[in-house]
A and B are shown apart, each in its own frame.
Chain A
Amino acid sequence: MSDTVSALQGAAFEGIARVEEAGLRGMVTFRGDLTAAKVKTAVKAASGVAIPGQRGIAMSGEGGAAAATGAAAATGAAAATGAAWMSPDELLILVPHAEADAAVATLNDKLSGTHFMAENVSDARAVFTVTGGKAREVIGKLAPVDMGAFGQGEIRRTRFAQVPAALWMHGEEAFTIVCFRSVADYMFGLLRAAAQEGSEVGVY
């Protein structure tokens, strides 16, 4: 399918931080017993990483993307794989967009006979990146998260103003934000407003 499009098709804004819609990412919601050995093996096979701990995210291949900017960063991140802890029985598995169905198939195959669920939710989401020295402040205006203490390897499910979202760092001063696709416009509007010129807080 050649005509796949993300919600905002790479819209970007440059203010006190750079805000960019990062295109399509492959995402699989996994639910099951995260402590089971079989599940650990299957998740590793699908995501390339071991299951992260509470509020953790493990990514492989995303770090290189942080150094790059713009399209290069988006491409780099889009190629990364990993897994994020969503709840005691839920993970978000990240893969390249075209490989999400394959990841589901891998999980189905490896876990056949166990009770679990793997669902491709890639297209239910919109992905944004916020990068730059003031990225923490931009996010701190919208999400009730202690951005002074937020570090790499963490994922936080939270809200951005009035919509649910999750965020993690894909590099020094670089954040990935995931929200529902239908509110991509709203999220972009929020981030643009929060990154408006002259709005530096000056605490991070």
Chain B
Amino acid sequence: MSTRLANGGRRIDRTRPVEFRFNGKRLKGFEGDTLASALLANDQMMMGRSFKYHRPRGVVASGSEEPNALFNMGEGGKFEPNQRATTTELFDGLSVTSQNHWPSLEFDVGVLNNYAARFLPAGFYYKTFMFPRPAWKHVFEPFIRQSAGLGRAPDKETLDADTYEHFYFFADVVVVGGGVAGLQAAKTAALSGAKVLIMEQDPHWGGRAMVDGEPEEGFVQRLVGELEGMDNVTMRRRMMGAGVYDHGYLLGYERLRDHAPMLAGPRHRLWRIRAGQIITATGAIERPLSFAGNDIPGVMLAGAVRDYIAEYGVSPGDRVAVVTNNDDAYRTAIAVKKAGLEVPVIVDARAGGGGELAREARGMGIRVENGKAIAKVTGGKRVKSVKLCAQAGEGAVLEEVACDAVAMSGGWSPVVHLWSHCGGKLVWDEAEAMFRPDESRPPLNQNGAGFVRCAGAANGALDLGAGLADADAAGKGAAEAAGFKARGDTLPDLAQDDALPIEPVWMMPQGAGPKLRMKAWLDYQNDVKVSDVQLAAREGYESVEHTKRYTTLGMATDQGKLSNINGLAILSDTLGQAIPQTGTTTFRPPYTPISMASIAGEARGEIFQPVRRTPMHAWHEANGAHWEPVGHWRRPYCYLKGEETPHEAVSREIRATRASLGLLDASTLGKLIVKGPDAGKFLDMLYTNMMSTLKPGRCRYGLMCSENGFLSDDGVVVRLDEDSFLCHTTTGGAERIHGHMEEWLQTEWWDWQVHVVNATEQWAQVGVVGPNSRKVLEKLGGDVDISKDGLSFMGYTSGKLGEFDARIFRIAFAGELSYEVAVPASQGRALWDALWDAGEEFGVTPYGTEAMHVMRAEKGFIMIGDETDGTVIPQDLGLHWAISKKKEDYIGKRAQERTFMQSSDRWQLVGLETVDGSVIPDGAYAVAEGENANGQRNVQGRVTSTYYSPTLDRGIAMGLVHKGPERMGEVIDFPGTDGTIYKAKIVDAVFYDPEGEKQNV
């Protein structure tokens, strides 16, 4: 059984017990434990069920590579699935449940899949569910969804209770990994004066050296102390290098509160780092061995077994059998023995056995069997024994050895992920049986030079002395590449390990038959076995990428950290080719999963995205505004009074405005100031009509097209003085049109003397609309003349309106006598309040965007985005009057001369009047006779705007209709989606006051 040892455990504090809950059970651990070590200390070997076959699974590793021990963690707003026990630090009150079983971890119905395993081979999804087709939806999919899967998805109604943030950081050299190699590389780099950031995903510095031996006594502590004392060094623990991207961009994932959720502050922080040079000192990951039953709880990586003993004082079993193909695993046997536990046998697959460490183990009285293998592990929910055989044979059992844990080592693979993310290449190291970074082909930066280098075990330097020297060189190289003068550090003098070489063992025993291969796991999390990869190869999958997807090898949340090399070795072997010929799958960020919320950072709730508010926003809010988003702006769609519906409110607002006085917050309209001797010439090019002839103090409506001739924006242009114009754009169009103007000025007409400034937000603007609009403005007083003749239609004046610094434009989008009054934004609210007070006697009514839309439609005015959709030219809308014939050129002119644009078959704007007064549904199409090549009904037009007009008490619409203007009076059909056919008569688009008498009073 697994248990807490009486002594040892560098990380735990035995004086500080911690209580936590596992599947509702109260358990005890110590501060410093991980969830995995605490569960093992409580003899909880089984920690979950596997993905496909629901086999019992225990913890295999002690770090971020762990595939099995994943848990649902926390509750409510703190719930998160798939949390790795090996990287979850224990805290008081931690609550987890195991995953992927029903009804319970101990008894799981899904385990039946295990017995049906022969019917669930590689690619079974693709093979099984082809036929019959309906069975997918009704039988297979529900079954698979129920039985497969990992953690529970968080409840969609529950909001994450935590906060998250980003942090931008810049450094000359960033070191990922805080083992001895990383610390040494950081120190060497920092000695040059370079700004250095070093990060370690674990809460502790030192990495494996803390278990397997430091270069010299106190080495890590000394180095950490030195680095902490350097002003140019930033050190972060619990921060993982998640991904390396172009231009030295690096993501660091810092877990701030996972271990202390009771403290205030953000849970995760995503560091967005610009690094001059990156050093990855990410160490190596031990590989499992592929023998039958290698997934039974109690079978663990050899390195993990000694980690649990040394770091947490936890033994995975009383009798630990060790199986290996290299010398390193002997350290585990020695550590187990020293902890006072039994090692019944060391099974070394190498016929010649091991070197110095093997001699030491033998000297301690441990039995070593060279050239042997594990034929099979027995046991269900925990290991009972191992059956030994000859590695060279087919698995004939020689003897059975009782044990309750198995420590396995298939050698070590450098963690090359970060090196590879941005294109670093690998070489196959035959001697060490591993892929390691190819120094000659690093990821390249913007200058074509390498910007990532690896150090220590991550670079394939598994020997401690060699690793330190490698790290020192990496630190020096990175500092120099970042532009600093660097020199190497003085390193401890270390003799090379006297170890015998590893012998690659990809299958155990070498000639294992089908029965054994079907129980030899490669990918624990996705339940992929040796037999699955071999089947894929036999079925013709030669590319490692295809095999990965077909078998799902390496596609789980651990992304194959343990399984990839073993899997591709099996594939190579089956295909009869060398491992480098098969190659690896692509390494993609993040290194281990990071929280989605950390990517979102601060963007949630009220600051999910910016909402633009006008100076009068608060008034609208307090007066029943029913909001509509327009770009990032919020504008009142209408103002709700009492119990009325938005439709009723819109009608009320229109009637009141047409009858007396309405107010519209028009502050969102874009306002671009164009100034300079060439401003007139410039605007003549931008607008379809002539602007240079506009007199100071006058306004003119203008259309803007793209180079392709399509309508892009419209608005009223005001000539403020000889030199400057004010161009109104649509709401939300200001930034786009400003950019459009700057682009032409900067790239084409760079020699024209024109400046543009976006003054949109400088001004609060109010539409004062209706027969009483002049009266209310006159009531405010001031020195501006707004009399009928003093400020004629399409005129502009400025001065004091009451006490306001006002610009007043007499323009009429609603077709009534109306003014737009602009004042500096800081005076906007006061102006609105003043108009509100002064308008009381006229029954002043604020109106929103919908009333504005309806009133302009009653007048037959177009709206960019309604009548236009990027395919409409001004000529389609009958706006020939706003297109200058005199001008030699304007943006879009040439495009509009293309034959297709000139065609009389283009749909043209007309008014549409339903025969029965009903309202045509938005977006309805007018049908024509016959069907097209696709068997769809032919169409001859579509609605672009359609409203109920309270003024006319009937439905009105505008639409684009084939040869529309020639077909006045004709009735065409608009089928609705409700089955009704709306019959509409083609009429003139101006429904209200066609003579324009109302605005001219």
Chain A residues proximal to chain B, CB less than 8 Å: 1-7, 24, 29, 31-32, 97, 115-117, 119-125, 137, 140-149, 161-163, 180-186, 189-190, 193-194, 196-201, 203
A124 near B830 with CB under 8 A, answer no
Q: How far is the CA of A141 from the CA of B633 in the complex (A)?
A: 25
A182 near B633 with CB under 8 A, answer yes
* Besides A1-B827, A4-B827, 13 new A-B residue pairs in contact (Cβ under 8 A), listed by A number: A1-B830, A24-B826, A117-B755, A120-B824, A123-B825, A141-B165, A146-B170, A180-B612, A183-B611, A186-B611, A189-B607, A199-B165, A203-B234
Cβ-neighbour of B167 out of A24, A181, A201 (below 8 A): A201
Query: C-beta contact mask, B553-589 vs A, less than 8 Å → 1, else 0?
Result: 0000000000000000000000000000000000000
Q: How far is the CA of A142 from the CA of B165 in the complex (A)?
A: 9
* Chain A CB within 8 A of B677 CB: yes
Chain B residues proximal to chain A, CB less than 8 Å: 163, 165-170, 195, 234, 263-266, 269, 272, 274, 601-603, 606-607, 609-615, 632-633, 673, 675-677, 724, 753, 755, 757, 759-764, 803-805, 824-827, 829-830
Q: How far is the CA of A189 from the CA of B615 in the complex (A)?
A: 18
Cβ-neighbour of B826 out of A123, A161, A189, A196 (below 8 A): A123
Can you show 15 pairs from A to B with CB atoms below 8 A apart? A1-B805, A3-B829, A7-B613, A31-B757, A121-B757, A123-B761, A124-B825, A141-B165, A148-B195, A149-B170, A181-B825, A182-B761, A193-B163, A198-B266, A200-B265
Q: Which residues of B contact A143 (CB under 8 A)?
A: 168
A115 near B611 with CB under 8 A, answer no
- Contact A148/B170 with A117-B676, A190-B602 known, Cβ cut-off 8 Å: yes
Cβ-neighbour of A161 out of B167, B603, B763 (below 8 A): B603
Q: Which residues of B contact A142 (CB under 8 A)?
A: 166, 602
A197 near B607 with CB under 8 A, answer no
A121 near B265 with CB under 8 A, answer no
Q: How far is the CA of A15 from the CA of B265 in the complex (A)?
A: 11
B606 near A123 with CB under 8 A, answer no
- Contact A181/B168 with A117-B676, A189-B607, A193-B607 known, Cβ cut-off 8 Å: no
Q: Which residues of B contact A196 (CB under 8 A)?
A: 163, 264-266
Q: Which residues of A contact B165 (CB under 8 A)?
A: 141, 193-194, 199
Q: Which residues of A contact B269 (CB under 8 A)?
A: 201
- Contact A1/B804 with A123-B825, A144-B272, A185-B611 known, Cβ cut-off 8 Å: yes
- Which of B602, B613, B614, B827 has the most A CB atoms < 10 Å from its CB? B602
Q: Which residues of B contact A161 (CB under 8 A)?
A: 601-603, 607, 610
Give the distance to chain B from A156, nearest Cβ to Cβ, in Å.
Answer: 12
Q: How far is the CA of A31 from the CA of B756 in the complex (A)?
A: 9
- Which of A32, A145, A147, A181 has the most B CB atoms < 10 Å from its CB? A181
Give the distance to chain B from A134, nearest Cβ to Cβ, in Å.
Answer: 12
- Which of A6, A124, A144, A161 has the most B CB atoms < 10 Å from its CB? A124
Cβ-neighbour of B676 out of A2, A6, A115, A197 (below 8 A): A115
Grouping DSSP codes into helix (H, G, I), strand (E, B) and loop, the B interface class, with mixed when no group exceeds half, is mixed
Q: How far is the CA of A5 from the CA of B804 in the complex (A)?
A: 13
A180 near B761 with CB under 8 A, answer yes
B633 near A190 with CB under 8 A, answer no
- Contact A162/B676 with A121-B759, A181-B825, A186-B611 known, Cβ cut-off 8 Å: no
B673 near A119 with CB under 8 A, answer yes
A4 near B826 with CB under 8 A, answer yes
Q: How far is the CA of A146 from the CA of B172 in the complex (A)?
A: 12
Q: Which residues of B contact A182 (CB under 8 A)?
A: 612-614, 633, 761
Q: How far is the CA of A182 from the CA of B761 in the complex (A)?
A: 7
CB-nearest residue of chain A to B164: A193
Give the distance to chain A from B601, nearest Cβ to Cβ, in Å.
Answer: 8
B826 near A117 with CB under 8 A, answer no
Q: Which residues of A contact B169 (CB under 8 A)?
A: 140, 148, 203
Q: Give me the 10 closest cross-chain CB pairs, A-B, nearest first.
A: A198-B265, A198-B264, A3-B830, A123-B825, A182-B612, A124-B761, A4-B826, A117-B755, A186-B610, A146-B170
Cβ-neighbour of B759 out of A119, A137, A197 (below 8 A): A119
Q: How far is the CA of A98 from the CA of B227 in the complex (A)?
A: 53
Q: Which residues of B contact A146 (CB under 8 A)?
A: 168, 170, 274
Q: How far is the CA of A53 from the CA of B753 in the complex (A)?
A: 24
CB-nearest residue of chain B to A101: B805
B759 near A162 with CB under 8 A, answer no
- Contact A31/B609 with A1-B804, A123-B761 known, Cβ cut-off 8 Å: no
Q: How far is the CA of A74 from the CA of B180 in the complex (A)?
A: 51
A199 near B762 with CB under 8 A, answer no
B757 near A29 with CB under 8 A, answer yes
Give the distance to chain B from A8, nearest Cβ to Cβ, in Å.
Answer: 10
Q: Which residues of A contact B607 (CB under 8 A)?
A: 161, 186, 189-190, 193
Q: Which residues of A contact B168 (CB under 8 A)?
A: 140-141, 143-147
Q: Which residues of B contact A7 (CB under 8 A)?
A: 613, 615
Give the distance to chain A from B995, nearest Cβ to Cβ, in Å.
Answer: 39
A117 near B757 with CB under 8 A, answer yes
A123 near B610 with CB under 8 A, answer no
Q: How far is the CA of A144 from the CA of B753 in the complex (A)?
A: 34
Q: Which residues of A contact B274 (CB under 8 A)?
A: 146
Give the distance to chain A from B831, nearest Cβ to Cβ, in Å.
Answer: 9
Q: How far is the CA of A186 from the CA of B757 in the complex (A)?
A: 23
A31 near B755 with CB under 8 A, answer yes
A141 near B602 with CB under 8 A, answer yes
A193 near B676 with CB under 8 A, answer no
Q: How far is the CA of A185 from the CA of B613 in the complex (A)?
A: 8
Give the distance to chain B from A189, nearest Cβ to Cβ, in Å.
Answer: 4
CB-nearest residue of chain A to B834: A3
Q: Which residues of A contact B264 (CB under 8 A)?
A: 196-198
- Contact A116/B163 with A3-B827, A140-B168, A145-B168 known, Cβ cut-off 8 Å: no
A123 near B763 with CB under 8 A, answer yes
Q: Which residues of B contact A148 (CB under 8 A)?
A: 169-170, 195
Q: Which residues of A contact B163 (CB under 8 A)?
A: 193, 196
CB-nearest residue of chain B to A189: B607
Give the distance to chain B from A26, nearest Cβ to Cβ, in Å.
Answer: 11
- Contact A123/B824 with A146-B170, A181-B615, A203-B169 known, Cβ cut-off 8 Å: yes
Give the distance to chain B from A53, nearest Cβ to Cβ, in Å.
Answer: 21
Q: Which residues of A contact B762 (CB under 8 A)?
A: 119-124
Q: How far is the CA of A116 from the CA of B760 in the complex (A)?
A: 20
Q: Which residues of B contact A120 (CB under 8 A)?
A: 762, 824
Q: Which residues of A contact B606 (CB under 8 A)?
A: 189
Give the distance to chain A from B506, nearest Cβ to Cβ, in Å.
Answer: 46
Q: How far is the CA of A144 from the CA of B273 in the complex (A)?
A: 9
Q: How far is the CA of A182 from the CA of B168 in the complex (A)?
A: 26
- Contact A197/B265 with A1-B805, A3-B830, A140-B168 known, Cβ cut-off 8 Å: yes
CB-nearest residue of chain A to B269: A201
Q: Which residues of B contact A24 (CB under 8 A)?
A: 826
B805 near A163 with CB under 8 A, answer no
- Which of A6, A137, A146, A201 has the most B CB atoms < 10 Å from its CB? A201
CB-nearest residue of chain B to A97: B826
A162 near B826 with CB under 8 A, answer no
CB-nearest residue of chain A to B274: A146
Give the distance to chain B from A87, nearest Cβ to Cβ, in Å.
Answer: 11
Q: How far is the CA of A160 from the CA of B169 in the complex (A)?
A: 15
Q: Which residues of B contact A197 (CB under 8 A)?
A: 264-265
Q: How far is the CA of A138 from the CA of B310 in the complex (A)?
A: 40
Q: How far is the CA of A119 from the CA of B673 in the complex (A)?
A: 8
Give the distance to chain B from A141, nearest Cβ to Cβ, in Å.
Answer: 5
Q: How far is the CA of A148 from the CA of B233 in the complex (A)?
A: 12
Q: Which residues of B contact A163 (CB under 8 A)?
A: 610
Q: How far is the CA of A68 from the CA of B607 in the complex (A)?
A: 30
Q: How far is the CA of A182 from the CA of B825 in the complex (A)?
A: 10
Q: How far is the CA of A33 from the CA of B655 in the complex (A)?
A: 53
Q: How far is the CA of A120 from the CA of B612 in the complex (A)?
A: 21
B167 near A4 with CB under 8 A, answer no
Q: Which residues of A contact B611 (CB under 8 A)?
A: 183, 185-186
Give the distance to chain B from A23, nearest Cβ to Cβ, in Å.
Answer: 10
Q: Which residues of B contact A124 (CB under 8 A)?
A: 759-762, 825
Q: Which residues of B contact A4 (CB under 8 A)?
A: 824, 826-827, 830
